[in-house]
Each structure stands twice: as C-alpha cells, then as structure tokens.
Amino acid sequence: MSAGNWCLIESDPGVFSELIENLGVKGVNVEELYSLDEGSLAAVKPVYGLIFLFKWDKDLQSGPCIEHEVPDLFFAKQVITNACATQAIISVLLNSEGVELGPELTELKAFARDMPSEFRGLVLSNSEKIRTVHNSFARQETFEIVSEETDKDAFHFVAYVPFRGRVYELDGLQEAPIDHGPFQDDWLATAASVIQRRIERYSQSEIRFTLLAVAADRQAGLEARLAAAQAKLGQPEADAASLQLEIQMVEDELRAAKEKKVKQREENERRRFNYIPLFIEALKAIAASGRLPALQQAATVSLAGAKGAGDKKK
C-alpha cells in the first residue's frame, strides 16, 4: 500500500488547531507556550498533551525506551517523512480522556488497537482523511529553490502525555514510548522538567525550540463560565456588582478568543493562497507603465545602503 505524499506544514498553533477541527475532533485547540514556568502552563489548562519541536540529534535522546507494552497506550512508529507533527498531535488525542474524537479517529483507534506500533504507523500514514487534511495546509509555491546543502538541520516533533499516573514521551522515530515516571497532582510539572533538561543538553547558541499545548478549547470554557455567571445573577442572594464585573471580564476574554480564531483562519487562508500570479501581473503592469527601470535602480541603491550600514556595524 502506498501512503502517498505528505507535505511539510508550518509549525503554527492556528494551523494545528484547524487541522484538529478538520479531523472531526471537538473542543480542542493548540496554544503556543513561550515559557515552562508554572504560570504559563496554568494559563492554558486543562492540557491534554504537549508537542515539542527541536533539532533532531540521535545522540541527544531524553531517555531509554520502555521494554514492556503499556496496555491501551496508543503509540505508533513514524513510517513516512513530513508527518511527525500530525502524528504527534494524533498521539496526544488518542491517549486523552474526555476528548470527542469524531468518527475518523474513533474508528482508527479501534481498528489499530491490537496492532504493533509499526502497523499502527502504517494505518496512520495510509489514512486518506488524515493525509488530505494534513496536505490541505501545504504552502502554495510555484517556484522551487534548489539548494546543494547536504547538512541541513532536521527538526522533529514529539508528544508528551499523561497516562494512568505516569508521563510518557511518544516519539515515532523510537522503538517504543519513553517513561518519564509518575506524577502526583500536576503532570505538566513533570513534563516541563523533562523538556527543560532536554533543552539544556543543547549548546547555548541553539534557540530553535517550539512548545505547543494541546488543550481544551478556551472559547467553550469561557462560554460555560459566562452562562454560569449570568444564571447566578438572577438569584436573590447574588452579589450583583461582583457578578456584573465577572461577566464583563469573561465577555472581554471571550471576544478576544473569538477574534483570535478569526485571525488564525484568515492566516491559514493566506497560507493556502498562491500569490505568484498576482506578483507577476503587478510586475507586468509596472513594466507597461515604464516605471520598472527606475524602481529597480532605487531598490539597488537601497540594498547597497543597507549593506554598507551593516558592514560599518561589524
């Protein structure tokens, strides 16, 4: 069976949130984290899993793989290229309690339940629905820049999930999950410690890391809070002033969350749009007007000035 082609997609929370929605999953979105501190993690709770993007180095793995099977823990080997982001997200979703997966992922999870990890990877890679949704976020590029670089850095996504009182790392390039031990009240503290140690193993000049939280949809939570506050407002013993203030705050947060979703959808549409024909027609119009040589000369002078300023700073 052929898995078809999987494109590279941008590491962006808006892309991944819409990808999850298009797979049929309800009430889940992705938030980018800029810090591992307790406050940053608390702001996006409840969190179903973390997705970590890093420069791949076979000598910098975070721990040994487990040698025994963990019942019901969904782990799949990655058997094709360019799919690690989508596979990491699906690994989180299929190991999360209380998530409405939708028919596609529910059926896939049941079908692959008793399969070995490599066969699960094949099931994922051969899912027409998942591949189509993944590839729908491909950038429209008319021109391809051919590079002779052979030592280009490779980047990789892995997932961290809580499962039956322990934190597991799910990396499709490994033979099995990595067990990072038990947690008491907050699994995110354990996962954050593991990720921090992993980052520290790289040189100080390496800053190309991305951390994403697969979390409950913030808009749905705010709508529930708003409804609860409005219901209390009509009760005789209610503190009307305090509730009005809470309602105003929640409405402001809800408005911001909705605007964020709209903006993310607009950005995703721009990613899909092919701007090359527009640029070509614009250049044709400028050339026909006779202004192209003057603009080209002005750009050349500007570029030379910028380069000279840069050389002086050195």
**Closest C-alpha to 217, from 9, 56, 45:** 45
Our answer to whether residue 84 is catalytic in this structure is: yes
State the pTM of this model.
0.80
pLDDT the model gives residue 146: 52
Between CA 233 and CA 238 the distance in angstroms is 6
Q: Which of 7, 68, 134, 156 is catalytic?
A: 156
Taking 70 as the pLDDT cut, the residues of the chain under it are: 1-4, 58-62, 140-152, 203, 205, 307-314
Q: Which of 7, 65, 84, 134 is catalytic?
A: 84
Our answer to whether residue 180 is catalytic in this structure is: no
pLDDT the model gives residue 2: 47
Between CA 188 and CA 45 the distance in angstroms is 10
Distances (CA, A) of 172 to 88, 108, 185: 8, 17, 28
What burial letters (b/e) apply to 299-311, b meaning 16+ CB within 10 Å? eeeeeeeeeeeee
